[in-house]
Amino acid sequence: MATTVEPILDNTIEDPEHRAPLVLGGLDYAGVTDKVCSVWEADKAPKVWWLVLILAISLLMMLGACIGHLLMKGVGVWGNNNPAYWGWPIVNFVFWVGIGHAGTLISAILFLFRQNWRTSINRAAEAMTIFAVICAGTFPGIHIGRVWVFYWLFPVPSEHLAMWPNFRSPLLWDVFAVGTYFTVSLLFWYMGMVPDIATYRDRAKTKIRKMVYSLLSLGWTGSARGWHRYEAAYVILAALATPLVLSVHTIVSFDFAVSQVPGWHTTIFPPYFVAGAIFSGFAMVVTLLVPARKIYGLQQLITIRHLENMNKIIMATGLMVGMAYGIEFFISWYSGVAPERFAFYNRAFGNFSWAYWIMVSCNVFIPQLFWFKFFRTNTIAMVVICIFVNIGMWFERFVITVTSLCRDFLPSSWHYFHPTGVDVMMLIGSFGLFTTLFLLFCRYLPIIAISEVKNVIPVKSDEH
């Protein structure tokens, strides 16, 4: 069952006579299993893994310390102040929720469209979704001030409070949208992983591993009846997750669009936010998978073609986002509403114009490099571009949130927003949380959907 050593083909060339292979190097079933399990079966994790983990955990501890400080002192430790009561915590929330969207798009929407190239990247992308939503949920969670009564967000009968949530408020919609999104993503991710956890179970050497993976795999045998219901459930979950993923960022955009602040009160927000979310999410997937495939030697499974496809989506969604920026300006001029016109003029040429132009450069100009095949297929170039994209997308949320609030209807309260050290440390710390979770996932769970990849290997038997 050893993998036959073949020169790695260039599967980015479009040959109309053949489907481009999605698994290179002639890997067979056992070869795929061995390849993915080697990540977990290696006695020692790669040095890079340890280095990054130590760094990530120290950043995570910094986040924990910041949250402790916040709980002791109150939300005054942030830069949020009149009139910008929504500062970095909300910017970070929208940023992280957006990152998550690519995972669901890959696992659900591309599944419904029968895009087979999703198979080797969907697991890592779904994991990324869950960890990003955890980071996202942290920020509004600690933004509510009295964190210990967080359950007041939910419709829990309470004698102490003697009231219910306001179900007509977009902020409450957010609680339901993000909560549902996290739960459904987790179920989808876990359900998809059970057959692969069963593979880990059957290959486990130590007693503890055997026990843990046996429990997690729920006694999966791979029976035909099991697969039949499993596939039905997978399609249903994909069909549920598809409108869900579109609804989540739509509802996040309602947080802004339903208010009346100039620059927020626009109907273009839902599609524009969803496009931006997919844009930033794919950029994050590329940023994570390029080093992961290199470190773990998974180039045969996560091929350049996979990365190139993602880069094409990044360019497409980047163009959508760029068009939305343009339309926003057009509508503000066309509406004839003075505060709207001022809000957008102020965005581009006001006191936060530096942030606006960082956003436009990173989100609209830099991704244009993906028109060239060199940038789409060169791993270092694509990671650099994707990091710029995520910087740009963070600034997009910053521009929307802060510039609009700092120039609201009441000129006497106009103000310049200054973040505090806690703001900065929390943003960096949230990357620590995300990276820690992702590294642990890489080490202990199958990062590639083994059973799904086997389905896209060309069948060698006489049938099919």
**Interface positions, 181-200, toward other proteins (CB under 8 A):** 183-184, 187-188, 191, 195-196, 198-199
> Does residue number 148 form part of the binding site for other proteins (CB under 8 A)?
yes
| DSSP letter (8 states) at residue 120 | T
357, 301 contact by CB (below 8 A): no
**Interface positions, 28-67, toward other proteins (CB under 8 A):** 28-30, 33
With CB under 8 A as the contact rule, the residue among 180, 299, 368, 420 that binds other proteins is 180
Please state the closest distance from residue 309 (CB atom) to other proteins, in A: 22
* Peptide bond between residue 170 and the one before it cis (omega within 30 degrees of 0): no
Cα dihedral 35/36/37/40 (nearest 10): 120
CA distance 442 to 435: 10
Comparison of 44 and 205: residue with beta carbon closer to other proteins:
205
Q: Which residues of 241-275 are buried (b: 16+ CB within 10 A; e: fewer)?
A: bbebbbbbbbbbbbbbbbeebbbbbbeebbebbbb
337, 328 contact by CB (below 8 A): no
Please state the closest distance from residue 407 (CB atom) to other proteins, in A: 24
* Per-residue contact string for residues 436-455; x = within reach of other proteins by CB under 8 A: --------------xxx-xx
With CB under 8 A as the contact rule, the residue among 86, 111, 254, 282 that binds other proteins is 254
> Does residue number 251 form part of the binding site for other proteins (CB under 8 A)?
yes
The neighbour count for residue 18, using CB atoms within 10 Å, is 9
> Does residue number 173 form part of the binding site for other proteins (CB under 8 A)?
yes
With CB under 8 A as the contact rule, the residue among 168, 207, 208, 412 that binds other proteins is 168
The neighbour count for residue 171, using CB atoms within 10 Å, is 15
Please state the closest distance from residue 386 (CB atom) to other proteins, in A: 30
> Does residue number 227 form part of the binding site for other proteins (CB under 8 A)?
yes
SS3 81: strand
Tokens 């989540």 locate to 248
CA distance 390 to 95: 9
With CB under 8 A as the contact rule, the residue among 26, 141, 226, 271 that binds other proteins is 226
Comparison of 144 and 327: residue with beta carbon closer to other proteins:
144
> Does residue number 203 form part of the binding site for other proteins (CB under 8 A)?
yes
Question: Degrees (nearest 5) of the Cα angle 271, 433, 127?
Answer: 55
With CB under 8 A as the contact rule, the residue among 163, 208, 380, 410 that binds other proteins is 163
* Per-residue contact string for residues 259-298; x = within reach of other proteins by CB under 8 A: ----------------------------------------
Tokens 């659900």 locate to 108
Comparison of 17 and 462: residue with beta carbon closer to other proteins:
462
Q: Which stretch binds other proteins (CB under 8 A): 3-11, 154-162, 270-278, 437-445?
A: 154-162
